[in-house]
Chain A
Amino acid sequence: MAAASPSVFLLMVNGQVESAQGLEEGISQITSKSQDVRRVLVWNFPIDVTFKSTNPYGWPQIVLSVYGPDVFGNDVVRGYGAVHVPFSPGRHKRTIPMFVPESTSKLQKFTSWFMGRRPEYTDPKVVAQGEGREVTRVRSQGFVTLLFNVVTKDMRKLGYDTGPVDTQGLQGPSLP
């Protein structure tokens, strides 16, 4: 009895959002701004998701939006970032830069700082797209580290070659 050839491949991702460093006014264990001490934020947030598809176009991306309190206690956006989920099976570590939209006029920068309403994207998915970014000005600040474990099913049977597994011998979760 012949098995039906697969038409769909599966992608399973799990891991955690590990740490962030260098975010402006981020919550850190040490409050003084000394140059020689690392300021690190640890979330250790779990991700566990499975996708299925017939076509790798539109490969999933993780979009992160980081918020934090400002001087007046309002929650303002501290950074957006996005990265494609790696497509070769194995363990992968990705450190992504975060950026914040910036207004062009100095008056608007002051009023948004004062009122606690910073410019933000109405739909954070804009960060995952390339179109429509020509007119935006941003400021990049900070990084977030993510750790992925990727498992795929039937990609090879459908003819896809994802290349060598690039784990680089990663150990368990660790701070950068």
Chain B
Amino acid sequence: MAEVHVIGQIMGATGFSESSLFCKWGIHTGAAWKLLSGVREGQTQVDTPQIGDMAYWSHPIDLHFATKGLQGWPRLHLQVWSQDSFGRCQLAGYGFCHVPSSPGTHHLDCPTWRPLGSWREQLARAFVGGGPQLLHADTIYSGADRYRLHTAAGGTVHLEIGLLLRHFDRYGVEC
């Protein structure tokens, strides 16, 4: 079986209007993929940047997959939340990107979006906080049923992901 190592970091995020941010991340794969070691999902620390506007998490990702097929190549999905001084959390954006398919180190900039509600909900979000969230998190990385959503852009999450492939040439796969 071919093996894939995803070794890297979620560096941080820019472009969000709130400053204390954290990120919940997860990796979703198809049925042919099996996670041999590593944790498939996690949550970063809450960071308040002192210099500049980029929140840095430096959250390590170290995953080892074995695969029988190319379908369902791993997708990394992210939810960025902000935490205020009272400890309340508010959604800042959803985003996803495919794990790169060529070996080596890659810088990824993952744009995010957040659901807008009706004008009442937008007004409430500006004053009180809160706001609509997705019921099912798999809408972040799947294309079905997205036409119902009305969203606005959030900031960008920056990742540095390194990919190590093993035995792909044995099966004739070029990447």
Interface residues of A (CB under 8 A from B): 22, 24, 55-59, 61, 81-84, 86-88, 96-97, 99, 102, 104, 127-131, 133-134, 136-142, 158-164, 166
By a CB distance below 8 angstroms, the chain B residues around A141 are 49-51
Compute how far the CA of A96 lies from the CA of B8 in the bound complex, rounded to whole angstroms.
13
Are B104 and A133 in contact (CB-based, < 8 A)? Answer: no
Interface residues of B (CB under 8 A from A): 5, 7-9, 11-12, 20, 22, 36-39, 42-51, 54-56, 58-62, 64, 83, 87, 102-105, 162-170
Contact partner, B5, options A57, A83, A97, Cβ 8 Å? A57
Compute how far the CA of A91 lies from the CA of B89 in the bound complex, rounded to whole angstroms.
41
Are A56 and B58 in contact (CB-based, < 8 A)? Answer: no
Closest residue to B12 on the A side, CB-wise? A97
Contact partner, A87, options B7, B22, B43, B87, Cβ 8 Å? B7
Are A161 and B168 in contact (CB-based, < 8 A)? Answer: yes
B51 to chain A, nearest CB (A): 6
B53 to chain A, nearest CB (A): 11
**Can you pick out 9 interface pairs between chain A and chain B where the beta carbons lie within 8 Å of each other?**
A57-B38, A97-B12, A104-B87, A130-B39, A136-B46, A137-B48, A139-B48, A163-B105, A166-B104
Are B104 and A163 in contact (CB-based, < 8 A)? Answer: yes
B18 to chain A, nearest CB (A): 14
For the complex of A and B, the 6 pairs showing the least CB-CB separation, nearest first, are A163-B104, A163-B103, A97-B56, A140-B56, A134-B43, A141-B50
Are A161 and B56 in contact (CB-based, < 8 A)? Answer: no
Are A99 and B104 in contact (CB-based, < 8 A)? Answer: no
